[in-house]
Amino acid sequence: MPEGDTVLQTATRLHEALAGQVLTRSDLRVPRFATADLSGRTVLDVTARGKHLLTRIEGGLTLHSHLRMDGAWRVYAPDERWRGGPGHQIRAILANEEHIAVGYRLPVLELLRTSEEDRAVGHLGPDLLGPDWDPGPALDRLRAAPERPLGEALLDQRNLAGIGNVYKCELCFLARVTPWLPVGALPDGALPRLVTLAERLLNANRDRPTRTTTITSELRTPPSPPNATPAQSAPATTPARAPARPRARPPVRVQERLYVYGRARRPCLRCGTPIRLADQDDRPTYWCPGCQSGPTP
């Protein structure tokens, strides 16, 4: 699921493939921009702003895209097979002599003047992965609606940019509160710590191929083997023996990458309570009823 860290990785791949190169092909497969031809122009840079992608092109143009739930950009060599999905899902193609960037299932794709980028991203709060990250304005925006559930407030990109549903669930678990707890009901000092943790987690994952929020591996005890079947009847001369108790198996170290997200009904890594799942604002939301306090559905 694209969030601030994976969008930044996408921007990096696109920048390495396109920046400084002249486009030999452009194909924007959305009705409004279907006739736009960017061929012959140089790509200046590709940057991420929260969960938005800005591809800046010679001549004062910016191609703005957003991946939302399942959009993706893939980069291929000229002779490489495209594997991002069927052809009817392609929304954009940008190519130069060495690379082809293909955008699949892009719900947002628009061409605008670079000087007007604020139309697309001006509403965003401070970018957790941006060079100008400042927690102060983010805290001010979060505190402005103390009655709002924490999970909804974290997802609102106008408060701070980059958090998606995975990080929402994981951050609430690490704060030991449910996503339905109002922002104003957080314990003193908890909100600044949570914002600091959000920035740390996204930065820790900005270069990782697989997102990880667990700090260390967890010691888990594997299930004991099933009890032996009852012993068959023995000859009368042989005294019956009590079935042997299964020997306890030692704990083994298992790497778990996420504490709660995607782990419904599985035991919590910290307390063993089954993880719960419910919708919050039409998004699947995971929490541990043993570790997290606060209201629930």
d(CA 144, CA 241): 71
Active-site residue 283, yes or no? yes
Active-site residue 51, yes or no? yes
Active-site residue 168, yes or no? no
The partner residues of 220 in beta bridges, in order of sequence, read: 252
Active-site residue 274, yes or no? no
Q: Tokens at residue 74, please?
A: 């893939």
Cβ atoms of 286 and 277 within 8 Å: the answer is yes
> What amino acid occupies position 66?
H
Instruction: List, as one string, the DSSP characters of 145-196.
Output: -TTSBHHHHHH-TTTSBS--HHHHHHHHHHHTB-TTSBGGGSPTTHHHHHHH
Out of 3, 152, 170, 199, the active site residue is 3
d(CA 224, CA 247): 8
Out of 206, 256, 283, 289, the active site residue is 283
d(CA 150, CA 182): 6
DSSP 202: H
| Catalytic center residues | 2-3, 51, 283
